[in-house]
A and B are shown apart, each in its own frame.
Chain A
Amino acid sequence: MNPQIVPIHRKESLREDGMLFVRTEGILDTMVKLPLLVASMIIVAAVMPIQSSFSSPRILDLIIYPDGTTHVSAKVDVDPLATDYEFDLFGNTIDNFVVVGENGFLLNTNVIGNFAIIETFGSSVITIEYDIYDLVSKQGRIWTFSLDAPSDFTLLLPKNSAIVGMTNLPINMEIINDQNQLTLSVGDTEIDYLFSTNPVVTNHVVSDISILQTDYFTYAIVGGIVAVSIIGIIVIIRSKQKTVKPIQIQQSAQKIETIDAETIFRLKPDLREDDKEIVKFISNNGGQAFESELRKKFLQPRTTMWRAVKRLERNGIIEIEKKDLQNLVKLRKNMEKEE
């Protein structure tokens, strides 16, 4: 080690009054560089948003039509000093491609595969519109929209469509003319949707009403038919009431035949508590109940109740019958004998 080299701060000591003296050359150097530093920071601050805006669309709106075709509308900031701008398309099967400059003038374009070269020549903002067939696919009843979006975007779904799955969080959702419009964030998005038929029924009702309002004669005929049919139904019900009585007696006889809940619990001690509740309800209901009644009573989803019923059937406690397209759940009468 060279003994002559001694650090300056060790060589100089603080004076008694504690005042610190510093070399002024460094300060002078910094003072000269400071304006440069400030100027460069201002330039960086100014250029940062411009750079980011050139790279992705400022506005991106998508509309999905009922046949799965998607209309794309994008507003992009471009370099006003560039002669052309290369724009990435979302696919290569496109139609109705129009690019307009900031003053509403049509710009020349050349679409090559997945991108378009747009002759901007001094434009700073361009609007691009086209229809694309590549973003939506269909499997059975399910339609799937998928896109790797370069920026946040809005997506207007077709009328009567219902979302049944999606891969990322929506930023917002609005209803525009009975259509769902989602605002989604940049990146990969996949949305599954299908068409719900319910609103179509509403439209029919509306159109029927409008016809009735305009045509009083038709109204009278329809009213007459409805009145006659109501009278007919009442007559039929009254005439059938006489024959119903013996069936009711038969049903009450069946009630007596069914095994009571306590016996079932004795025979099946391992039964789950929630299953016991179902058995109790069926027993109190005369030994039988529709699955839909059980769902309403226990406020269970369809599938959960269906599993419970299947479990009871496997245990030999109940049997399932189809009645009026519904599941009728009955307590088994011969359970005790089997045991």
Chain B
Amino acid sequence: MSLLKVDDLTIRFGGLVAVNKFCFEINQGELIGLIGPNGAGKTTCFNMLTGVYVPTSGKIEFDGSEIQGIKPHRISARGASRTFQNIRLFKEMTAIENLLVAMHSERGYNLFEAILKLPSYRKREIALREKALGILRAVGLEKAAEIEAGSLPYGEQRKLEIARALATGPKLLLLDEPAAGMNPTETAELSNYIRNIRDQFKVTILLIEHDMSLVMKICERIYVLDYGELIASGLPKEIQNNPRVIEAYLGGAIGEEAHV
């Protein structure tokens, strides 16, 4: 069953067409990769899917309804949650508070119960913390629960951001370069971590990544963008050997750095 269906997605910034007539489809439970050289329009695409940018034209159908142009917090409420390329945690809040913010819509008490500290509020608050702690435990961060997010080590901040996105209870998880800044050992660990999350939380994952070892290892299908255009899509093996992809990454001639 298709969870996300994008048709002719286009966005223009002045004269620049950042993403041009991009079409793709993701089924429930899939783990999909979105790759492409720097500036290809991957993050722009994420920003349109999550409501940060309003597409110039095109249609985004998510879970049975169109979401293009809807405010970010409403898209989050409909079940699409994301992480950011350059980590955006609530730095001066503790790890568990970061998750609790994401769980705001399921708080289950109103303002008056809260400011008067009524028993119903206390009961819900305990349950919320319990649930947040459960998510932290599932991602191996329970020890960090009461530590300020900004003072966690880099790798744990990345994991916490994923945990926070999970706390909104999403159907679709959008990960923007989760392996950025990680060394090969950490990246290998991350690939197991992402697969575990998909199975444990029953989410569909769309992932932007530059690290090819990670993408090729865990993604079931891959879409490749270059200059805002879809240049290839298919199984990891097909992508690896696709001449257009190799050209996009290596510039056609002999590259200095073999990414593929």
Q: Do A and B bind each other?
A: no
